[in-house]
């Protein structure tokens, strides 16, 4: 038997039954009472105690997708799903040494104020940003109400040189869809979907319309590192590629629900390839799974994450929230992907030198499928 180091006193404290009168969760109440009466450094406040108890209760479910979110992070999450918020317009990345690297959005207040990609964040409003601070906590401090003169003072270092900026808050619209005609082939369109927000379906339709006007004959949809988002928006996106049919079956405790696509879609006719990897999860797997099951397009890349459950986000009285798994979902052919993921039609090993081998293979596959069409158009 192994004992932890330390000094112990036995039989000097009342038994738990003498401390607590019972009630709901009597053991928890016993422990709280013991801490309040005996712990050397005092007990935490009520909010901290409640949050800790909630986290412990939810962790007992053994479901990493069911968890508690404190109020500031809940607001950040809500803004992210909406794709619009008041702030300065930067992405924050953690470096290998634990520093916080900034990347301003194009035409954002941060970029206009002079923040450069690669600047390291040191202080916000005069307060140092400590290593190990959650990015969500930093993000909250870089957001705020859009009013005259409202913003943040930032101190950054750029190649070792300290610099200071005042950055005003403005309405930040975060695109979830980017697109272009590929430099490698003017007949191929490329669409990247980074997550599924309220804005994604409209952004996708705009992308498809623009690529058609630029005479794209085939399209690559990049879902790599897309961790998901809103289910209904993902189903709408899937429906743009599939012309009518079942998109997903949702299994809850006591019933099932089927989601059907309506006839038509913005891109049901052109050859299609979907890029996936182990960061393709949840709502992104809904889209990729529907495209695969209908043989609408080829999947290229690595095995996807395998998140086959659906969560409800329920806001609590103090603006905190809980994510609760309430259903699992099946692909149109009735397959579950939970813990399994989707296997690509062409499995690729990522390049060690940073080359995008998945994109190169997608280009090769689509060029072979559109070559006859291109030739016929030129001959005509």
Provide the annotated active-site residues: 282, 307
Helix (H, G, I), strand (E, B) or coil at 154: strand
Question: What is the DSSP secondary structure assignment for residue 6, as one 8-state letter?
Answer: S
CA 98 to CA 284: how far, in whole Å? 29
Question: Burial of 213 by CB count in 10 Å (0-12 exposed, 13-18 middle, 19+ buried)?
Answer: exposed
Helix (H, G, I), strand (E, B) or coil at 368: helix
Check if the beta carbon of residue 129 is closer than 8 Å to that of residue 121: yes
Q: At what angle do helices 283-293 and 231-241 cross, to 10 degrees?
A: 30
Q: Which helix (H) or strand (E) holds 57?
A: helix 46-59
Radius of gyration of the chain (CA): 26
Find, among 129, 62, 125, the residue nearest to 309 by Cα.
62
The beta-carbon contacts of 249-257 under 8 Å, at least 24 apart in sequence, are 249/329, 249/330, 249/332, 249/334, 250/310, 250/327, 250/328, 250/329, 251/327, 251/328, 251/329, 251/330, 252/326, 252/327, 253/326
């Amino acid at each position: 038997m192994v004992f932890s180091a330390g000094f112990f006193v036995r039989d000097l404290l009342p038994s738990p039954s003498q401390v607590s009168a019972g009630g709901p969760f009597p053991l928890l109440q016993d422990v709280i009472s013991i801490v309040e009466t005996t712990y050397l450094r005092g007990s935490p406040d009520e909010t901290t105690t409640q949050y800790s108890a909630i986290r412990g209760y939810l962790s007992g479910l053994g479901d990493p997708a069911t968890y508690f979110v404190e109020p500031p992070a809940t607001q950040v999450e809500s803004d992210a799903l909406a794709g619009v918020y008041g702030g300065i317009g930067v992405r924050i990345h953690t470096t290998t040494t634990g520093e916080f690297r900034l990347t301003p959005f194009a035409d954002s207040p941060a970029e206009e104020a002079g923040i450069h990609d690669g600047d390291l964040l040191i202080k916000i409003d005069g307060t140092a940003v400590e290593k190990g601070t959650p990015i969500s906590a930093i993000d909250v401090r870089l957001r705020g109400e859009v009013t005259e003169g409202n913003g943040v003072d930032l101190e950054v270092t750029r190649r070792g040189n300290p610099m200071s900026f005042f950055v005003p808050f403005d309405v930040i619209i975060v695109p979830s869809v980017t697109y272009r005609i590929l430099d490698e082939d003017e007949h191929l369109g490329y669409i990247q979907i980074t997550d599924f927000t309220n804005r994604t379906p409209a952004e996708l339709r705009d992308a498809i319309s623009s690529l058609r006007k630029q005479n794209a004959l085939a399209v690559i949809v990049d879902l790599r590192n897309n961790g998901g988002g809103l289910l209904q928006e993902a189903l709408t996106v899937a429906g743009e590629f599939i012309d009518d049919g079942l998109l997903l079956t949702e299994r809850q405790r006591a019933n099932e629900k089927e989601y059907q696509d309506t006839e038509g879609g913005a891109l049901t006719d052109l050859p299609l390839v979907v890029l996936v990897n182990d960061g393709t999860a949840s709502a992104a797997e809904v889209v990729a799974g529907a495209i695969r099951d209908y043989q609408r397009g080829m999947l290229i890349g690595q095995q996807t994450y395998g998140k086959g459950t659906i969560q409800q986000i329920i806001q609590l009285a103090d603006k905190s929230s809980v994510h609760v798994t309430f259903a699992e979902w099946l692909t149109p052919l009735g397959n579950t992907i939970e813990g399994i993921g989707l296997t690509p039609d062409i499995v690729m090993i990522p390049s060690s030198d940073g080359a995008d081998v998945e994109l190169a293979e997608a280009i090769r596959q689509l060029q072979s499928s559109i070559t006859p069409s291109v030739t016929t158009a030129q001959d005509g």
